[in-house]
């Protein structure tokens, strides 16, 4: 997900807005990507005081007889923000007020916890001036140790997962909410409790479905870093774009309880080099800075990671680690 501010480009009267997808440089992927615009395009309008896009953030701090959550929203101008929390049935369980940009801690009594077995979803509506933004979220904790593995709400959880690409098979690459929900439901019914996005940041529609059905997610950033797998792939732009793409992925995922892991890449030849290790550490540090409550990994192919030792040609794009 990405967005741009077009305010300065508008003028009084009629305006024509064009959103163009250019996919002429081929080959640029190892799998079917489709072409054109295959995820929703929205036009947001606001005036005076409003909540900034993707700024409403909710996370669980602790659980017990009462659950404590952290709330934050940024507004265009300094001011107050009111947060209304509703339970899975839509009943108001609390209303809290704070300042724009400040973290507000709130207690939710007798909270119903989100997990793969009980995917309870709450709703948070943030209001300022005449504007309001609503997000769903789950109350759950996530811990991971070498001794006991992953735990959701303190309960040891075994991941039974599979990988999915972004397209919907014969109906194409367009992100259709019902199609995303259908395959998520089918995965759950087949006995899976987790999926990995191969090899792309997962769509909001699929994340919504995973929240609803209780499917855990490893969200993956990309299929390559600086080593090309096709002549016109993302390696041409990776060093210039990696920080921006990480920030977009984390902003998209932040409120989704289904997301437990970020993957910095898939079968990356760079991993077998000192520079690749530096790149990976840079990305992991940035992710943890933006979202300290989830974990990072990398989908490593041991043979590819050997890089030049296996006769793999390394072609690096320009740029530098920032």
pLDDT reading at 298 higher than 60: yes
| Residue spans of beta strands (DSSP E) within 11-56 | none
Tell me how far apart the alpha carbons of residues 8 and 308 are, in angstroms, rounded to a whole number.
49
CA–CA gap between residue 266 and residue 278 (Å, rounded): 16
Residue 319, pLDDT above cutoff 70: no
What's the rounded Cα separation, in Å, for the pair 16 and 75?
28
- Structure-model confidence comparison of residues 140 and 170, the more confident one: 140
Give the residue from 70, 75, 188, 219 showing the smallest Cα distance to 137: 70
Helical segments of 170-309, H only: 177-189, 204-213, 238-253, 274-290, 302-305
Residue with tokens 């259709």: 176
Q: Angle CA(260)–CA(264)–CA(269) in degrees, nearest 5?
A: 145
Q: Which residues contact 261 (CB under 8 A, 6 or more apart)?
A: 217, 218, 219, 294, 295, 296, 297
The pLDDT tens digits for 270-294 are 988 899 999 999 999 999 999 999 9
Round to whole Å and give the CA distance between 247 and 263: 14
Which band of pLDDT confidence, cut at 50, 70 and 90, is reported for residue 314? very low
Which class for 110: exposed (0-12), middle (13-18), buried (19 or more C-beta within 10 A)?
A: exposed
62-101, pLDDT tens digit by residue?
999 999 999 999 999 999 999 999 999 999 999 999 999 9
Q: What is the pLDDT of residues 14-64, one digit of tens each?
A: 999 988 888 999 999 998 888 888 899 899 988 889 999 999 999 999 999
pLDDT tens-place string over residues 217-246: 999 999 999 999 999 999 999 999 999 999
pLDDT digits 0-9 by tens, 95-125? 999 999 999 999 999 999 999 999 999 999 9
Distance CA 227, CA 315 (A): 5
**DSSP assignment of 273-311, as one string?**
SHHHHHHHHHHHHHHHHH-TTSEEEEE--HHHHTGGGGT
Among 267, 282, 277, smallest CA distance to 312 is for 267
Return the pLDDT at 308.
52
Question: What is the reported pLDDT for 215?
Answer: 98
**Under DSSP, is residue 106 helix (H, G, I), strand (E, B) or coil?**
strand
- Length of the chain as a residue count: 322
Q: What is the DSSP letter of 26?
A: -
Return the structure tokens found at 242: 């990696």
pLDDT band at 153 (very low <50, low <70, confident <90, very high): very high
Q: What is the largest CA-CA distance in the chain?
A: 64
| High-pLDDT (> 90) share of the chain, % | 78
Query: In 3D, which of 152, 131, 130 has the Cα closest to residue 143?
Result: 152
């Amino acid at each position: 997900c990405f967005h741009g501010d077009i305010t300065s480009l508008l003028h009084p009267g009629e305006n024509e807005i064009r959103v163009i997808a250019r996919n002429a440089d081929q080959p640029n992927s190892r799998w079917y990507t489709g072409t054109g615009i295959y995820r929703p395009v929205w036009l947001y309008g606001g005036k005076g005081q409003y909540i900034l896009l993707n700024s409403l953030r909710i996370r669980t701090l602790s659980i017990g007889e009462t659950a404590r959550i952290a709330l934050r929203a940024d507004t265009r101008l300094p001011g107050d923000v009111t947060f209304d929390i509703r339970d899975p049935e839509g009943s108001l369980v609390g209303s809290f007020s704070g300042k724009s940009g400040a973290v507000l801690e709130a207690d939710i009594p007798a909270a119903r916890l989100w997990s793969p077995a009980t995917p309870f979803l709450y709703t948070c509506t943030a209001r300022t001036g005449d504007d309001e933004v609503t997000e769903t979220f789950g109350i759950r904790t996530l811990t991971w140790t070498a001794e006991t593995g992953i735990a959701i709400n303190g309960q040891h959880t075994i991941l039974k997962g599979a990988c999915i690409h972004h397209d919907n098979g014969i109906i194409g690459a367009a992100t259709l909410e019902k199609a995303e929900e259908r395959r998520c439901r089918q995965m759950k019914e087949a006995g899976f409790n987790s999926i990995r996005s191969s090899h792309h940041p997962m769509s909001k529609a699929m994340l919504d479905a995973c929240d609803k059905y209780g499917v855990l997610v490893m969200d993956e950033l990309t299929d390559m870093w600086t080593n090309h797998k096709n002549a016109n792939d993302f390696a041409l732009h990776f060093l210039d774009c990696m920080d921006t793409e990480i920030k977009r992925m984390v902003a998209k995922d932040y409120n989704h309880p289904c997301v437990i892991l970020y993957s910095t890449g898939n079968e990356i030849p760079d991993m077998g080099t000192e520079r690749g290790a530096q790149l990976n550490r840079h990305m992991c540090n940035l992710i943890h800075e933006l979202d300290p409550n989830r974990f990072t990994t990398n989908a490593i192919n041991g043979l590819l990671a050997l890089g030049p030792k296996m006769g793999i040609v390394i072609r690096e794009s320009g740029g530098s680690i920032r």
